[in-house]
Chain A
Amino acid sequence: MARPPRDIVLVDAVRTPFGKSGGMYAETRADDLVVRVIRELLRRNPQLPPERIDEVAVAATTQIGDQGLTLGRAAGLLAGLPQSVPGYSIDRMCAGALTAVTTLSAGIGVGAYDVALAAGVEHMGRHPMGEGMDPNPRFLSERLIDPEALFMGKTAENLHDRFPSITKDRADAYALSSQERTAKAYANGLIQPDLVPMAVRSAELGWGLATVDEAPRPGTSLEGLGSLKTPFRPQGRVTAGNSSGINDGATGALLMAGEVADELGIAPKLRLVSYAFAGVEPEVMGFGPVPSTEKALAKAGLTINDIGAFEINEAFAVQVLAFLEHYGIADDDSRVNPFGGAIAVGHPLASSGIRLMAYLARAFELNPQVQYGITTMCIGLGMGGTVIWENPNFEGVTR
């Protein structure tokens, strides 16, 4: 198997609890969410002298207002990182945090960085999807993209068209499972250790503390899901119940060269194997994870059969199912999103990639027999991104 030129490890990944748009973070700034995550990463890893961080990359899809001002630098200053630590902002829509991780990893790989901090945030309550969007008229006049490509719900309906076997019932069943797995993971205390409690102010209620995700609906039933409207198409298949919501939240991860982690005495949670991004037709953007995973597997010299743990972002149930269908994996395979996913906890766009990594790290910890896992997600305007990780806890015979 091919390896990067230098060992790259993720040593920690945390996040704020995810909120519902207009909910617990309604009066909280996006940059404050990121600042809290950065500070908590440093607190959890006291062996790391902050001045050894060589770079901070913070992802946000809408980079204006409290998500603007070169957030990677601004949040670093606000968080109290040494002034000598630089930072920048990054955007690949839903795969923002995932791209922050891959880009910083590449920098570690070539020796530009020893330690880097990746983060992602999206406060969709303060910055609704498409805020300030000004698409070039050539997109439509020259038919460069299908007009539906800019509306994620419509691309999900289009994906159902491409895979007629993925019915609304299958999507709803998958959504129910996401809710149930989330509730079970919470009950087993598998989510909470990586949540950063966030103070939330409300002029009406006073200060509170966000300690758990706001979006999950533990009592969800198939009947309830079946009764929901299909807002993107009459008699369509995509509903609020089998999609991720509109959410607020931030995530962050510490990356470093393996030798630096050893030097500092910090145990890695994930070891990078390969990554890849790939483009697809924008109007079926949910199919993106398939070609990106193919590419990443090829680079790693692995096949899908080598992958023992999957974290797929649940932008829409159909997009997960399209991936599983492509690889012949059962809808309810226990290796896939074992702790639920974005349908339950939410998908604050640019932040979600690191949540997937935190979940994968938990799966690796619980499954030392698994050697490889992936984090993958679909991306607006027709892309997919995949990172293949090796389990540092692996207790088997290395290939």
Chain B
Amino acid sequence: MSATDTTQAEFSEVITHAHCRAIDMPGGTGRVALITLDNGFDHTKPNTFGPGGLASLDAAIDAALAEPGLVAVALTGKPFIFAVGADLTGVPQLTTRDEALQIGRLGHRVFRRLGELPVPTFAFINGAAMGGGLEIALHCTYRTVSSGAAAISLPECFLGLIPGWGGTYLLPNLIGPADAIKVIIDNPASQNRQLKPRDLVSLGIADTILEPADFIEESLRWTAGVLAGDIDVPRREIDRGDTWEAAVAGARAGLDARLHGAAPAPYRALDLIALARTATRDEAFAAEDDALTDLTFSNELRAGLYSFDLVQKRAKRPVGVPDKSLARPVTSVGIVGAGLMASQLALLFAQRLEVPIVMTDLDQARVDKGVAYAHGEIDKQQAKGRYNPDKANRLKALISGSTEKQAFAKADFVIEAVFENLAVKQQVFAEVEAVVSETCVLATNTSSLSVTAMASGLAHPERVVGFHFFNPVAVMPLLEIARAERTDDSTLATAFAVGKSLKKSCVLVKDAPAFVVNRLLTRFLGEVTAAMDEGTPFEVADHALDPLGLPMSPFTLLQLVGPAVALHVSETMNEAFPDRFGVSSNQRRIVESGATELLDWSTDSPRIAPAIESLLELGDSPSTGEQVRQRALDALAQEVRLMLDEGVVAEPQDIDLCMLLGAGWPFHLGGITPYLDRTGTSERVTGARFHAPGVASV
């Protein structure tokens, strides 16, 4: 097998072995060959498929067929894991299209055997089944799934690939195009949503769901029932007429609205789903091979893999953080303020740290309101069944409020979420320092003020750290942790330990204006706003970035942030970097007018709200969309370079991680620096790429 030989030499594959074992079924059903996929490691290193693993599976199928009296072949995984798809670690090493094509073909050749044997085949999905892992199950005649299986999906489009080992052909033909689109295209686009085992049954992907306690035994019993004809396995009727076309057309419109063609993978997947209506198996699989090969050599996939690695690894092991042994225990938390942000923080800290939380504010009414908000959220979650009454009681009892800072006396960690004003925050910290221990961490949720300045008047400035959440706090995964000039290692280690307990992805940033996400978004929005102020029509400016496939248009983002907050940040940034960050006089007028709704959503695509339009004073030098985009990207490249030079973060990877998790910028851009590299922007604007070719690009 040449494909095996050539590719195996180039990267070291952890081979998933396929062990074939003959089972003489009780009750005279006959002999079943049970193939177990097992790479020899525990569940923390899931089964994957590379050339070696495919060869092993191929051989196991041969061994199964050699069993005398064979009545069926079954396939299952090692404990907790079925299989999680292709081994993608080798992708960056692929250099020729032919190599990629061979891998696609090899997967098809081996997997499809399971659908073309002289005996029926059964997949027992005992655990995680992603990508090729789920596809191999789709090749089988029947599927059982364990109700304990976690992580089931076809996530390829999330990374920039397609389920190209049969998935785009088999799934729509099994469950229909609409649900196949949901699984192959929509779920990956929704934070890579996973299917629950019961979804597998309701979608018609699995034929039965069985409990984990004796899943293998009962799967075999079910197998015997099917073989004996005692169990009927109904399948969906698939309408292969106009509804198929309609489902595909609807999905294509959705993709255009969301991505504007920015990411090729979901479009290719959709083309293949369309093709699956009429194509033969050979035609469909060949088309999948072509798509896989094209996408393997797409910058979007390489950026996707780079992003995945950042989110999976770097986010969990932040770079440049002091050893966790230096962290001090946090058994009581204080929150200064009882407004919406503070109340969200109280809720999060109570849920994740499960330690007493005290909120303070100026008067009892505000305190009561803040505590009531947090308690009310817990009640809501209890009503949804997330908490039982005991747990809800426990969490609610943790959250209390006071008008006296003395309530912080026992706190190990106090975070302020008061009005974004330096003097106010300095005053708050001085008052808190008067009552807390010398080692209590003082954290600020400021988005743009200087943490160093905030600490300057304190007796122990080394305990002050920036702790910048993103809104909504419960949902957004990023936490920018800012080290101020005097912040000591122990404080920083404590902040990271707390951040990890809060289940946030923490990135270490320097105490620089607006840290990473807000600085880049403000710069970027500033350029688009300036272009509009100069006379670029709203529609042109707002759609200028469409080719990037960002989660929302610039002015939608501005609306989400809120014009007043955005103005405040741009003023702060203008003060820090007047040559690069302007303040739009139109924006100031809008804020001064008290208007909060920028956009009119009454039409398909948002327009500027009429009330706002009358406030605007626009210039007479409009730009084209292309020019606006170029300007915004150039500004981003310049700003990223400056941030790296200033040491705001250690590496471009941290910038990208922040943009992926804090701004929701897409995998296919790699955050932002891979996109700036591949469009030539970084080199043209800053004289150099951020990454060597191949790191996040072809």
Shortest CB-to-CB span from B426 to chain A, Å, is 54
Q: Does A39 contact B (CB under 8 A)?
A: yes
Q: Is the CB of B211 within 8 A of A80?
A: yes
Residues in B with CB closer than 8 Å to A208 are 21, 23, 34
Kindly name the residue among B23, B36, B213, B217 whose own CB sees the greatest number of chain A CB atoms within 10 A: B217
Q: Does B479 contact A (CB under 8 A)?
A: no
Which residue of the partner chain B has the closest CB to A201? Answer: B79
Residues of chain B at interface, number, CB under 8 A: 23
Residues in A with CB closer than 8 Å to B234 are none
Q: Is the CB of B216 within 8 A of A199?
A: yes
Residues in A with CB closer than 8 Å to B24 are 211
Shortest CB-to-CB span from B26 to chain A, Å, is 5
Q: Is the CB of B34 within 8 A of A197?
A: no
Shortest CB-to-CB span from A33 to chain B, Å, is 11
Residues in B with CB closer than 8 Å to A35 are 213-214
Which residue of the partner chain A has the closest CB to B22? Answer: A208
Shortest CB-to-CB span from A158 to chain B, Å, is 42
Annotate A184-201 by CB proximity to B: 1 below 8 A, 0 otherwise.
000000001001011101
Residues in B with CB closer than 8 Å to A133 are none
Which residue of the partner chain A has the closest CB to B20? Answer: A206
Residues in A with CB closer than 8 Å to B215 are 199
- Interface majority SS (helix, strand, loop, mixed), chain A: mixed
In whole angstroms, how far apart are the Cα atoms of A39 and B291 in the complex? 48
Q: Is the CB of B20 within 8 A of A209?
A: no
Query: 8 Å CB contacts to A: which residues of B49-103?
Result: 76, 79
Q: Is the CB of A207 within 8 A of B21?
A: yes
Which residue of the partner chain B has the closest CB to A208? Answer: B21
Residues in B with CB closer than 8 Å to A205 are 19, 21, 36
Q: Does A204 contact B (CB under 8 A)?
A: yes
Annotate B227-254 by CB proximity to A: 1 below 8 A, 0 otherwise.
0000000000000000000000000000
Q: Is the CB of A192 within 8 A of B26?
A: yes
Q: Is the CB of A206 within 8 A of B213?
A: no
Q: Is the CB of A206 within 8 A of B36?
A: yes
Assuming the A-B contacts A36-B217, A39-B214, A80-B211, are A206 and B26 also in contact, with contact meaning beta carbons closer than 8 angstroms in the complex?
A: no
Other-chain residue from A36, A203, A207, A211 in contact with B214 (beta carbon distance below 8 A): A36
Shortest CB-to-CB span from A46 to chain B, Å, is 15
Q: Is the CB of A209 within 8 A of B216?
A: yes
Q: Does B225 contact A (CB under 8 A)?
A: no
Q: Is the CB of B213 within 8 A of A80?
A: yes
Q: Does B220 contact A (CB under 8 A)?
A: yes
Assuming the A-B contacts A192-B26, A211-B26, are A206 and B216 also in contact, with contact meaning beta carbons closer than 8 angstroms in the complex?
A: no
Q: Is the CB of A209 within 8 A of B220?
A: yes
Other-chain residue from A39, A192, A203, A207 in contact with B34 (beta carbon distance below 8 A): A207
Assuming the A-B contacts A197-B26, A201-B79, A211-B26, are A206 and B217 also in contact, with contact meaning beta carbons closer than 8 angstroms in the complex?
A: no
Question: Contact residue range for chain A?
Answer: 20 to 34
Q: Does A302 contact B (CB under 8 A)?
A: no
Q: Does B517 contact A (CB under 8 A)?
A: no
Q: Is the CB of A78 within 8 A of B213?
A: yes
Q: Does A79 contact B (CB under 8 A)?
A: yes
Q: Is the CB of B19 within 8 A of A204?
A: yes
Residues in B with CB closer than 8 Å to A78 are 213
Q: Does B40 contact A (CB under 8 A)?
A: yes
Q: Is the CB of A207 within 8 A of B216?
A: yes
Which residue of the partner chain A has the closest CB to B26? Answer: A211
Other-chain residue from B18, B25, B214 in contact with A199 (beta carbon distance below 8 A): B214
Residues in A with CB closer than 8 Å to B217 are 36, 197-199, 209
Shortest CB-to-CB span from A66 to chain B, Å, is 15
Q: Is the CB of B213 within 8 A of A207?
A: no
Q: Is the CB of B216 within 8 A of A79?
A: no
Residues in A with CB closer than 8 Å to B36 are 201, 205-207
Q: Does B106 contact A (CB under 8 A)?
A: no
Shortest CB-to-CB span from B148 to chain A, Å, is 11
Q: Is the CB of B38 within 8 A of A206?
A: yes
Q: Is the CB of B23 within 8 A of A209?
A: yes
Q: Does B35 contact A (CB under 8 A)?
A: yes
Q: Is the CB of B26 within 8 A of A195?
A: yes
In whole angstroms, how far apart are the Cα atoms of A208 and B21 in the complex? 6
Shortest CB-to-CB span from A363 to chain B, Å, is 22
Residues in A with CB closer than 8 Å to B20 are 206
Other-chain residue from B21, B214, B221 in contact with A206 (beta carbon distance below 8 A): B21
Annotate B565-582 by CB proximity to A: 1 below 8 A, 0 otherwise.
000000000000000000
In whole angstroms, how far apart are the Cα atoms of A192 and B221 in the complex? 15
Residues in A with CB closer than 8 Å to B34 are 206-209
Q: Is the CB of A203 within 8 A of B35?
A: no
Which residue of the partner chain B has the closest CB to A199? Answer: B216
In whole angstroms, how far apart are the Cα atoms of A198 and B19 in the complex? 18
Q: Is the CB of B40 within 8 A of A207?
A: no
Residues in B with CB closer than 8 Å to A192 are 26
In whole angstroms, how far apart are the Cα atoms of A125 and B79 in the complex? 21
Annotate B12-43 by CB proximity to A: 1 below 8 A, 0 otherwise.
00000011110111100000001110101000
Shortest CB-to-CB span from A43 to chain B, Å, is 9
Shortest CB-to-CB span from A361 to chain B, Å, is 19
Q: Is the CB of A203 within 8 A of B38?
A: yes
In whole angstroms, how far apart are the Cα atoms of A28 and B79 in the complex? 12
Residues in B with CB closer than 8 Å to A209 are 23, 25, 34, 216-217, 220
Residues in B with CB closer than 8 Å to A199 are 214-217, 220
Residues in A with CB closer than 8 Å to B220 are 197, 199, 209
Shortest CB-to-CB span from B123 to chain A, Å, is 13
Annotate B115-131 by CB proximity to A: 1 below 8 A, 0 otherwise.
00000000000000000
Query: 8 Å CB contacts to B: which residues of A32-52?
Result: 35-36, 39-40
In whole angstroms, how far apart are the Cα atoms of A192 and B25 in the complex? 12
In whole angstroms, how far apart are the Cα atoms of A198 and B216 in the complex? 9
In whole angstroms, how far apart are the Cα atoms of A198 and B221 in the complex? 11
Residues in A with CB closer than 8 Å to B19 are 202, 204-206
Shortest CB-to-CB span from A82 to chain B, Å, is 14
Shortest CB-to-CB span from B59 to chain A, Å, is 13
In whole angstroms, how far apart are the Cα atoms of A203 and B38 in the complex? 8
In whole angstroms, how far apart are the Cα atoms of A384 and B370 in the complex? 70
Query: 8 Å CB contacts to A: which residues of B258-292?
Result: none
Residues in A with CB closer than 8 Å to B216 are 199, 207, 209
In whole angstroms, how far apart are the Cα atoms of A39 and B215 in the complex? 12
Shortest CB-to-CB span from A238 to chain B, Å, is 35
Residues in A with CB closer than 8 Å to B35 are 206
Which residue of the partner chain A has the closest CB to B124? Answer: A207
Residues in B with CB closer than 8 Å to A204 are 19
Which residue of the partner chain B has the closest CB to A40? Answer: B214
Which residue of the partner chain A has the closest CB to B24? Answer: A211
In whole angstroms, how far apart are the Cα atoms of A206 and B26 in the complex? 19
In whole angstroms, how far apart are the Cα atoms of A79 and B214 in the complex? 9
Residues in A with CB closer than 8 Å to B211 are 80
Which residue of the partner chain A has the closest CB to B77? Answer: A207
Which residue of the partner chain A has the closest CB to B32? Answer: A209
Shortest CB-to-CB span from B543 to chain A, Å, is 55
Residues in A with CB closer than 8 Å to B18 are 206
In whole angstroms, how far apart are the Cα atoms of A211 and B23 in the complex? 9
Residues in A with CB closer than 8 Å to B79 are 201
Annotate A126-160 by CB proximity to B: 1 below 8 A, 0 otherwise.
00000000000000000000000000000000000
Shortest CB-to-CB span from A262 to chain B, Å, is 30
Shortest CB-to-CB span from B146 to chain A, Å, is 12
In whole angstroms, how far apart are the Cα atoms of A208 and B220 in the complex? 10
Residues in B with CB closer than 8 Å to A40 are 214
- A-B pairs, top 9 by smallest CB distance, nearest first, are A206-B36, A206-B19, A199-B216, A209-B23, A207-B36, A208-B21, A211-B26, A199-B217, A206-B21
- Can you name 28 A-B residue pairings with CB atoms under 8 Å? A35-B213, A35-B214, A36-B213, A36-B214, A36-B217, A40-B214, A78-B213, A79-B213, A197-B26, A197-B221, A198-B217, A199-B215, A199-B216, A199-B220, A201-B79, A202-B19, A203-B38, A204-B19, A205-B21, A206-B20, A206-B34, A206-B35, A206-B36, A207-B21, A209-B23, A209-B25, A209-B217, A211-B23
* 9 more A-B residue pairs beyond the given contacts A206-B35, A207-B36, with a C-beta to C-beta distance below 8 A: A35-B214, A199-B215, A201-B79, A206-B21, A206-B38, A207-B21, A209-B216, A209-B220, A211-B23
